Amino acid sequence: MKRELELDDHKLDVKELEVKYSTSVTKGLSEAEAAQRLLRDGPNELRPPRGTPGCVRFGRQLAGGLQCLMWVAAAICLIAYGVQEGEGDRGSSDNLYLAVALIAVVVVTGCFGYYQEFKSTNIIASFRNLVPQQATVIRAGQVLQVNAAELVLGDLVEIKGGDRVPADIRILAAQGCKVDNSSLTGESEPQTRSPECTHESHLETRNIAFFSTMCLEGTATGLVISTGDRTVIGRIASLASGVGEEKTPIAVEIEHFVDIIAGLAVLFGGTFFTVALVIGYPFLRALVFFMAIVVAYVPEGLLATVTVCLSLTAKRLARRNCVVKNLEAVETLGSTSVICSDKTGTLTQNRMTVAHLWFDGQVHTADTTEDQSGQSFDQSSESWTLLSQVITLCNRAQFKPGQENVPVAQRDVIGDASESALLKFAEVTSGPVAAARGRFPKVAELPFNSTNKFQVRTGEGQVDTGGTGELRWDRWAQVGQVSSLMSPMMSPMSPMTSLMSPMSPTLSPLSPGFCARWLPPGTDTPPEDLAEVAQGLCFAGLVSLIDPPRATVPQAVRKCRTAGIRVRDMGTLGTSGTLGGVGGLGTLGGVPRCAQVCYLCRQARARVVTGSELAAMAPGTLEELLRTHPEMVFARTSPQQKLVIVESCQRLGSIVAVTGDGVNDSPALKKADIGVAMGIAGSDAAKNAADMILLDDNFASIVTGVEQGRLIFDNLKKSIAYTLTKNIPELAPYLIYITASVPLPLGCITILFIELCTDIFPSVSLAYERAESDIMHLRPRDPRRDRLVNEPLAAYSYFQIGVIQSFAGFVDYFVAMAQEGWWPGLVLGLRPRWEDEHEQELQDSYGQQWTFWQRRYQQYTCYTVFFISIEMCQIADVLIRKTRRLSLFQQGPFRNRTLVVAIVFQVCIGCFLCYCPGMPNVFNFMPIRFQWWLVPMPFGLLILVYDEIRKLGVRRHPGSE
Amino acid sequence: MSKETKKPFRQSMAEWRQFIYNPNSGEFLGRTAKSWGLILLFYLVFYGFLAALFTFTMWVMLQTLSSDIPKYRDRISSPGLMISPKPDTALEFYFNRSDSQSYSEYVTTLQNFLESYNDSKQSQNIECTSGKIFDQSEAAVKKACRFNLSELGQCSGKEDANFGYSKGTPCVLVKMNRVIGLKPEGEPHIQCTPKEEGMVNINYFPPNGAMDLKYFPYYGKSLHAHYLQPLVAVQLAITPNGTKEEIAIECKILGSPNLKNQDERDKFLGRIAFKVLMSE
């Protein structure tokens, strides 16, 4: 493998290649042969690099920042236990239990994290399989679409602009083919590919295209010379290992947040530790405080909650045909403020249909019904004959084989939308296209691209033109799909345009014009010069194509608008039909005139900007326009211009989502904060650049995505707020314990039970919370201000709700103490005597005498009472967290079934911990009296009422906290 | 795929400084003085309200409590045992019978402890019928039963001011923790057993270590101010074998089904263990 690959295929000529790979350069391999070779060589894909071994990854889960803290805490406990044991104090194995509990926590969360990582790796992997790379291959003379992994040595493949090269390929024929080798060689300039051998080295020569590089434009046919790991790229091991999993930013942000929390925990713990030492606690005891505070502060269950939230949403999205490449993308989509949409296929059905034709100075209406059978226009004209010839021949689309019995309109076509429409039109109106093409074999071709905006094909053969007798055309050139009426490129045809456009209100801007001319016999034109050939043509006619907007689009666009998201159409070919939806102008009755639309748009604060206008704009003008016009349509823009649009939006502070399918969209997709590619129509380049893929190519799915993104953010926020709140009532007991010297109200093990047992389910269940009904009526969040965990959230959780909860806990604590004989006045300052193990006759407020263990069990009762108080308040907390703005009753308190179940479950666990026999000595829970469950309830009610008042305020005065 | 670039250190420092105090807007830590004031006011009112609520709840709760009898006695259904004198460190008596200094502390403790049992202090206490629970739940004023020091015999301090420490027969008083409303059943008595035989002979005062039922129940310190716990004196007659040896002794309350003495964790519930090491 280390050895430099020796390859001489580029030096061989076609005959030698045929022999070497025992194949045919015209017909390709037979299916049987291909299957055999596939079996012999294995699939054509890179073997994924061997991942980090499971035990190492598991080890990493056990050694995170939080986990280290927990290990330290456990170690402290063990030491404390060891010291106590060494002193012969056999009574208290609390510290041992605590150490065991802490270690169990670390291991269990480690297992959970490992399992989640394992699962999410699998999810991502399965996403990859969902969008497999396709390759066009010729086998036994038939053009087929196969999964790229099924390619074998000797296969004859076709590539076109936007495709990823499916294997190492020796080019046999090429038309203007350019590839991007940057991933392999680092050259950023597109490289021309042609059949000639131009260099000794196989890396430098022009006639080899490499696996996984991108074909930018043009077409090529080639022979597969190596597959899978034997390809040049497959041998570069380092490249393959770069496929490793990356940490998503939201994970990074959460880890960052956890670091802050851990830092705070250590800071608080350190302070308490020092204070305890100063007050005069023994070192070991102070260490145990430190540990207890760390345990109280660290939100042990948070990571689990976040992971569950994210993967839940990813699954929910996948069900709606949105595939997310990385989970955080969902969240980004939620904060999107501008969607730049490429019209084709996203806003429209991507089912081009011929609507009108123009020839002989007249507009003819074509049949646009489903089966396109009843063509009613006059087909006897000479111009029609010429036009139909051009439509048939200057067209790269073709039917997939084996569909002879399928109605034309429903056949599958290889080729883009416009060409497919023309192909079907030609098949219906002028008979079998394949036969016509057979009569005029292709000599050279210049495919359509966004720079030259036309397509040239030179053909050879005989053509009958009806009426004028037989003409012999040795060579002729056709120009098809000169797509633009407004493009400067159209200048040779401008007289015609000006002649036609005023009188054809029915023709949309998307009207390919078709021209043809004779070429002198024997003219041989290299593909680069084909543009030159396309001069002085005879104009045959125009065809108007429409791509009707999808039924769901207007509603989706309306939804976006209420959600404060601007939709900008930056299609290469702006259709007014789409605009009708986008600009909120309503449908203008079929296909409106462009000028008319522009006029209306100006009135409606919307604006149409064409690519040429954009090119002429001074810098800064675009930003100004974007600022003043909430809705905008860009027509006929180039990839560079799309990039400029996206950048301008981003400069204005917007979070930009870009949708696109073509290779021309990929720069914009990459530049966008979130790129959304189309699953069906999308090219590999687009899918690669995108963060999210819409499997059904439906714009409405994006809106769903936005909703889900906002939902996930909201729910995560709710969950975190819920999780954070209880830190205060867990911390406060230690604060009071040390400062007011009361018997400890809440034990470490109890805290662990709150963090990891009872509160996990409600906090995860918040991920199942439905969207607040106004979620799509709000402005997108400002990513700089509305962070996941921001100041108001922390302050509200910690200093308001958390404090109420602490009060609830202390009230219950003092009640439980007083009712058992220890009045508050006595309790304050009682700690040293209370904790004295030699004191076996401590007097309570009534003169009764208590042994140490009787006091200890009373202390456990307090733990339990405090625990129950926190639980009761946390039930109120989870209920208030269900909504951030709406009233609980607007949302419906019981509509989230998972949450209801979680609350019931939480109460059941609470009961179990309290009343299961044996608990006192194992986990320090005591059976408590029923009324101590009731004491914190008014505080829970207070939380509910207080938060309802806050929400009312937020609804009355939007934007305030 | 983070699309943000990292800021240089100098800039982030400047931003921090800006955050701590912004001279342009007069913002301190991101807020103006007025904003801080409002926030402080809010929290003052908020916490004030909570504190008031807390106080009110506490007050209401205390109103529901009787000052005489605790609401519940869940954790002290059975009393613990304790001894007097009680060495500071673990319950270990170390003394030299011929060195009065070594046991003077024990003697003083006993004297002080027994002071409240002096007849002069018990003038208000009444004689009760022995062997019977002295139920006074109907009475508004609860009387205390007299505990005559003479019942402690040689350990009363009357005959031997040194409580036997100088003679090698040290006395240890065993008492039962006060628990309100506790009515022992049967005939409770203290029984002490040395861990090893032959080192010590144990005498009890009153005989058999009996705890008379007439001292029960206890009605709490406010109703039953003059109440005195019954005592059992345990006289340890240390044999020559036991001298210079550490003698482990465990005392238990026996003869009463409702007084526990076997709790696994609580080594003082109905029992007590101590050690004696006497040298000469």
Q: Which residues of B touch A852 (CB under 8 A)?
A: 266, 268
pLDDT at A469: 30
Q: How far apart are CA A730 and CA A750, in angstroms?
A: 9
Q: How far apart are CA B227 and CA A921, in angstroms?
A: 35
pLDDT at A848: 92
* Beta-carbon separation of B61 and A815 below 8 A: yes
Residue of B nearest to A927 (CA): B74
Of the ranges A482-491, A663-672, A785-794, B24-33, which one carries the lowest mean pLDDT score? A482-491
Q: Which residues of A touch B269 (CB under 8 A)?
A: 851, 853-854
| A674-678 and A656-660 beta bridge pairing | parallel
User: How many other CB atoms sit within 10 Å of the CB of residue A683?
Assistant: 25
pLDDT tens per residue across span A896-931: 888 999 999 999 999 999 999 888 887 889 999 999
pLDDT tens per residue across span A56-114: 878 877 777 677 877 888 888 888 888 877 776 554 677 787 788 788 878 887 887 77
pLDDT tens per residue across span A464-481: 333 333 333 444 455 554
Residue of B nearest to A932 (CA): B61
pLDDT at A365: 72
Q: Is the pLDDT of residue B198 over 60?
A: yes
Q: What percent of chain A has pLDDT over 70?
A: 70
Continuous segment of H or E residues that includes residue A460: strand A455-460
User: What stretches of A318-411 adopt beta strand conformation (E)?
Assistant: 322-324, 338-341, 353-359, 362-365, 398-399
- The answer to whether the beta carbons of residues A61 and A67 sit under 8 Å apart is yes
pLDDT at A663: 65
pLDDT at A606: 52
Residue of A249, A807, A844 lying closest to B50 (CB–CB) = A807
pLDDT at A374: 56
Tokens 């029984």 sit on residue: B191
The answer to whether A342 is a known catalytic residue is yes
Q: Which residues of A touch B58 (CB under 8 A)?
A: 811, 814, 824
Residue of B nearest to A920 (CA): B265
Continuous segment of H or E residues that includes residue A804: helix A802-819
Q: How confident is the model at residue A417 (pLDDT cuts 50, 70, 90)?
A: low
pLDDT at A570: 59
Q: How far apart are CA A177 and CA A663, in angstroms?
A: 14
Q: How confident is the model at residue A241 (pLDDT cuts 50, 70, 90)?
A: very low
Q: Which residues of A touch B267 (CB under 8 A)?
A: 91, 853
Q: How confident is the model at residue A945 (pLDDT cuts 50, 70, 90)?
A: very high
Q: Which residue has the higher pLDDT, B264 or A810?
A: A810
Q: What is the mean pLDDT of residues A499-511?
A: 41
Q: How far apart are CA A531 and CA A221, in angstroms?
A: 21
pLDDT tens per residue across span A666-712: 778 877 888 888 777 666 667 777 788 888 777 778 888 888 888 87
SS3 state of residue B51: helix
Q: Which residue has the higher pLDDT, A456 or B62?
A: B62
Q: How far apart are CA A205 and CA B10, in angstroms?
A: 49
Chain A neighbours among B 88-117 (CB < 8 Å)?
Answer: 88-91
Of the ranges A86-90, A313-317, A601-605, which one carries the lowest mean pLDDT score? A601-605
Q: Which residue has the higher pLDDT, A952 or A351?
A: A952
Q: Is the pLDDT of residue B85 over 60?
A: yes
HEC profile for A556-596?
A: HHHHHHHCCCEEEECCCCCCHHHHHHHCCCCCCCCCCCHHH
Q: What is the ipTM of this complex?
A: 0.91
Highest mean pLDDT among A123-127, A272-276, B255-259: B255-259
Q: How far is A954 from chain B (nearest CA, A)?
A: 17
Q: What is the mean pLDDT of residues A107-133?
A: 68
Chain A contact probe: residue of B76, B251, B260 with most A CBs at under 10 A: B76
Q: What percent of chain B has pLDDT over 70?
A: 96
Q: Which residue has the higher pLDDT, A459 or B124?
A: B124
Q: Is the pLDDT of residue A513 over 70?
A: no
Contacts of A69 (CB under 8 A, 6+ apart): A262, A265, A266, A294, A298
pLDDT at A850: 93
User: How many other CB atoms sit within 10 Å of the CB of residue A318?
Assistant: 16
Q: Which residues of B touch A861 (CB under 8 A)?
A: 74-75
Structure tokens at A801: 């709700």
Q: How far is B247 from chain A (nearest CA, A)?
A: 18
pLDDT tens per residue across span B208-249: 888 889 898 999 888 888 888 899 999 999 888 888 888 999
pLDDT at A354: 74
Q: What percent of chain A has pLDDT over 90?
A: 12
Continuous segment of H or E residues that includes residue A943: helix A937-956
| B271-279 and B246-254 beta bridge pairing | antiparallel
pLDDT at B263: 86
Residue of B nearest to A816 (CA): B72
Q: Which residues of B touch A803 (CB under 8 A)?
A: 46-47, 50
pLDDT tens per residue across span A722-762: 988 988 898 899 889 888 889 999 988 888 888 878 888 88
Q: How far is A841 from chain B (nearest CA, A)?
A: 6
pLDDT at A580: 34
Angle at A752 between CA A751 and CA A755, to 5 degrees: 85
How would you label A883-901 residue by residue, b for 16+ Cβ within 10 Å and e otherwise?
bbbbebeebeeeebebbee
Helix A937-956 / helix A852-881 crossing angle, nearest 10 deg: 30
Mean pLDDT of chain A: 74
Q: Is the pLDDT of residue A494 over 50?
A: no
Q: Does B61 touch chain A (CB under 8 A)?
A: yes
Q: Which residues pair with B246 in a beta bridge?
A: B277
pLDDT at A219: 85
pLDDT at A576: 37
Q: Is the pLDDT of residue A575 over 60?
A: no
pLDDT tens per residue across span A247-304: 555 666 677 777 777 787 888 888 888 888 887 778 877 887 787 777 777 776 676 6
Of the ranges A329-338, A417-426, A499-508, B254-263, which one carries the lowest mean pLDDT score? A499-508
pLDDT tens per residue across span A354-381: 777 777 766 777 765 545 555 667 677 7
Chain A neighbours among B 20-39 (CB < 8 Å)?
Answer: none
* Beta-carbon separation of B82 and A849 below 8 A: yes
Q: Is the pLDDT of residue A582 over 60?
A: no
* Beta-carbon separation of B65 and A858 below 8 A: no
* CA-closest candidate to residue A935, choices A835, A823, A850, A815: A815
Residue of B46, B54, B80 lying closest to A849 (CB–CB) = B80
3-state helix, strand, coil in chain B (%, to 5): 30, 25, 45
pLDDT at A813: 95
Q: What is the mean pLDDT of residues A524-534?
A: 62
pLDDT tens per residue across span B139-169: 888 888 888 888 888 888 888 888 888 888 8
- The answer to whether the beta carbons of residues A493 and A513 sit under 8 Å apart is yes
For the four alpha carbons of B94, B96, B102 and B106, in that order, the dihedral sign comes to positive
* CA-closest candidate to residue A444, choices A462, A457, A460, A463: A457
Q: Does A335 touch chain B (CB under 8 A)?
A: no
* Beta-carbon separation of B73 and A848 below 8 A: yes
Q: How confident is the model at residue B132 (pLDDT cuts 50, 70, 90)?
A: confident
Q: Which of A94, A168, A342, A665 is catalytic?
A: A342
